C-alpha cells in the first residue's frame, strides 16, 4: 500500500534498526530527531518536522543586545547570586504583576537554567515535604521530559488524562485522587503541551481550591505564557491577564520559560516564581532531609546551589532586559509569536482536508486556540501506527501516548515547519490519504 511513499521504506527501516529503536511509533522526541536527521542526510530530502518544540523564530533582539553588553562589562568572570541577579528578580516580580495580576515578591522570583531546572528542583523539594505524601500528580497530557525528571530523581508520580475531565468534572477527579492523602504536588502546563487546551478560570479555581484543601503545591508550567491567542494578553497592567491558579491558592510555583515566549531557548534561562506564603513555609520533613530552613531557601540554598550554583550571568541580564521592556510596554512579545497561531490554522486545515481529525478539539464548548501545538488522529490508526506511517511520507511527529494521553493520535508542533513547506505538506497528506483512506 505504501510503495509509492515519497521516502524509500528500505532507507527509513535501515535507519530505524541502526538507531536500535524497538518500536518507532513509540519513539521519544530525541529518537525521532536522530532518525529523521539520518534519513534526510541519506536521501537528501527534507521532512516536514513536527516532532520537536524548537522556537523557530529569531531570538529577541532586546535580549541579545543586553546579553552582549553584559558580557562586554565582564559578567562572565563573576558568579551570579544563586537565586538570580537583583534586576532580574525585580523585573520578574513586576512582569508577574503586569501580565498575571499576581503579587510575588522579588525574593521568590528565582532564575533557573531553563524551566527544566526549575521543575527538576521543585519536584525534588515537593517530593520531600512530607514523608507520608510521596507522589506528584500530573494532569496530563504533558511534557514527557518532566516524567523523565521524576524517573531520574527516583520520585513517584501518578497521572490522568484530563480529556474526559474538563469543567466541573475536574473537581471530582481531583478529589478522588487527592483524598487518598499521598499527593504532595500537582503539575500541568497551561496552555497545554501537547494538546494546546487551556484551563479556564473555573477550572483553575477548582485546582486552586483543592490544592488549599489538601495542602498540595501546584506547579503551573507557563512555558507558553500569553499564547492563547483567542484573548489579547499582551498589554501590561491591563486585563485580560494570563489565567493562573495563583488567583485561587497560595500554594503555587509558577514556571515562566523564556524559550518560546522570547525565542530564547538556547541560553537556558528561565524563571521560577514561588508564592510569598510557600516561600517561607516550614516543612519539618523537608528540613530534616536537606538540613535547610524554609521551602524557598531549601530550593535556592540547597538544591539550586548543588545542581548548578546559579544560572548563566549574561543570560540573566538578557531576561531582565526582556521583562523590563515588556513591563514598560516597549516589547510586545505576544505579537512576535503570533506567527505560530497563524501557521497552526493553515496546517490544521491541511490535515482536516485530508481525512485527519483534531483530537483535543475544545475547551469545554469553545474551540481550542491555534498555537504552538495541535493534536491529530487518523481513522482506524493508533497514534503509534500514525507516527510510523507518516515517517514514510516525510512527516515526523510524536505519538500522544508519550505524553500521558489516553487518546490515539499524534502531537504536531508547528514551530519548525516553514511556510514554504505547506505545499509539500499538502501533497504528502493527499498521497497518504489516497493510500490509507477508506474511500
Ligand X SMILES: Cc1ncc(COP(=O)(O)O)c(C=O)c1O
CA distance 337 to 158: 33
Task: Please answer whether residues 400 and 375 qualify as being in contact, where contact means their C-beta atoms are separated by less than 8 angstroms.
Answer: yes
**Spatial CA neighbour of 273 closest among 151, 91, 70:** 91
Quick count: other Cβ atoms within 10 Å of Cβ 175?
Answer: 14
**Spatial CA neighbour of 243 closest among 187, 199, 209, 274:** 199
Q: Least distance (Å) from ligand X to the CB of residue 114?
A: 3
CB nearer to ligand X: give 126 or 265: 265
CA distance 384 to 380: 12
- Map residue 50 onto helix, strand or coil: coil
CB nearer to ligand X: give 5 or 259: 259
In the structure, how many helices (H) and strands (E) does the chain have? 17, 15
CB nearer to ligand X: give 120 or 283: 120
Task: Please answer whether residues 278 and 245 qualify as being in contact, where contact means their C-beta atoms are separated by less than 8 angstroms.
Answer: no
Q: Least distance (Å) from ligand X to the CB of residue 227?
A: 11
Nearest-CB residue for ligand X: 114
**Spatial CA neighbour of 30 closest among 145, 116, 127:** 145
Task: Please answer whether residues 62 and 321 qualify as being in contact, where contact means their C-beta atoms are separated by less than 8 angstroms.
Answer: yes
Q: Which three cell numbers stand for residue 19?
A: 538507531
Q: Which three cell numbers stand for residue 79?
A: 558568579
CB nearer to ligand X: give 55 or 292: 55
Name the residues that contact ligand X, by CB under 6 A. 53, 114-116, 143, 189, 193, 221, 223, 257, 259, 265, 270
Q: Least distance (Å) from ligand X to the CB of residue 409?
A: 18
Q: Least distance (Å) from ligand X to the CB of residue 116?
A: 4
Class of residue 151 by CB neighbours under 10 A (exposed 0-12, middle 13-18, buried 19+): exposed
| Pairing, β 410-413 against β 366-367 | unpaired
Amino acid at each position: 500500500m505504501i510503495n509509492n511513499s515519497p521516502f524509500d521504506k528500505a532507507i527509513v527501516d535501515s535507519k530505524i534498526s541502526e538507531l536500535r529503536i524497538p518500536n518507532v511509533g513509540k519513539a521519544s522526541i530525541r529518537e525521532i530527531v536522530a532518525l529523521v536527521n539520518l534519513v534526510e542526510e541519506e536521501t537528501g530530502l527534507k521532512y516536514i518536522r513536527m516532532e520537536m518544540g524548537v522556537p523557530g523564530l529569531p531570538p529577541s533582539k532586546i535580549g541579545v543586545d543586553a546579553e552582549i553588553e553584559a558580557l562586554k562589562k565582564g559578567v562572565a568572570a563573576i558568579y551570579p547570586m544563586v537565586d538570580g541577579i537583583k534586576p532580574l528578580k525585580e523585573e520578574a516580580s513586576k512582569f508577574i504583576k503586569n501580565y498575571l495580576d499576581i503579587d510575588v515578591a522579588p525574593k521568590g522570583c528565582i532564575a533557573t537554567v531553563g524551566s527544566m531546572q526549575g521543575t527538576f528542583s521543585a519536584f525534588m523539594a515537593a517530593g520531600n515535604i512530607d514523608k507520608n505524601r510521596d507522589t506528584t500528580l500530573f494532569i496530563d497530557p504533558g511534557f514527557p521530559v518532566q516524567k523523565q525528571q521524576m524517573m531520574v530523581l527516583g520520585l513517584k508520580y501518578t497521572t490522568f488524562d484530563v480529556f474526559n475531565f474538563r469543567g466541573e468534572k475536574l473537581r471530582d477527579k481531583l478529589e478522588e485522587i487527592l483524598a487518598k492523602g499521598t499527593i504532595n504536588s500537582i503539575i500541568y502546563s497551561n496552555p497545554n503541551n501537547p494538546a494546546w487546551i487551556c484551563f479556564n478560570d473555573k477550572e483553575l479555581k477548582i485546582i486552586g481550591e483543592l490544592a488549599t484543601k489538601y495542602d498540595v503545591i501546584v506547579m503551573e508550567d507557563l512555558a507558553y505564557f500569553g499564547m492563547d491567542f483567542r484573548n489579547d494578553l499582551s498589554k501590561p497592567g491591563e486585563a485580560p491577564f494570563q489565567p493562573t491558579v495563583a488567583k485561587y491558592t497560595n500554594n503555587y510555583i509558577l514556571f515562566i520559560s523564556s524559550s518560546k515566549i522570547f525565542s530564547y531557548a538556547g541560553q537556558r534561562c528561565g524563571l521560577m516564581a514561588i508564592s510569598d506564603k510557600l516561600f517561607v513555609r516550614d516543612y519539618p520533613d523537608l528540613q530534616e532531609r536537606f538540613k535547610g530552613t524554609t521551602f524557598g531557601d531549601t530550593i535556592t540554598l540547597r538544591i539550586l546551589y548543588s545542581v548548578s550554583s546559579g544560572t548563566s550571568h549574561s543570560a540573566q541580564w538578557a531576561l531582565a532586559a526582556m521583562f523590563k521592556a515588556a513591563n514598560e510596554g516597549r516589547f510586545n512579545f505576544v505579537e512576535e509569536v503570533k506567527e505560530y497561531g497563524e501557521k497552526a490554522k493553515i496546517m490544521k486545515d491541511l490535515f482536516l482536508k485530508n481525512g485527519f481529525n483534531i483530537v483535543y478539539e475544545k475547551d469545554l464548548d469553545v474551540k481550542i486556540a491555534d498555537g504552538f501545538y495541535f493534536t491529530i488522529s487518523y481513522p482506524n490508526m493508533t497514534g503509534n501506527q500514525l507516527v510510523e506511517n507518516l515517517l514514510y511520507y516525510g512527516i515526523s511527529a510524536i505519538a500522544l501516548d508519550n505524553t500521558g494521553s489516553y487518546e490515539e493520535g499524534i502531537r504536531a508542533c508547528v514551530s519548525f515547519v516553514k511556510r514554504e513547506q505547506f505545499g509539500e505538506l499538502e501533497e504528502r497528506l493527499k498521497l497518504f490519504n489516497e493510500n490509507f483512506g477508506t474511500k
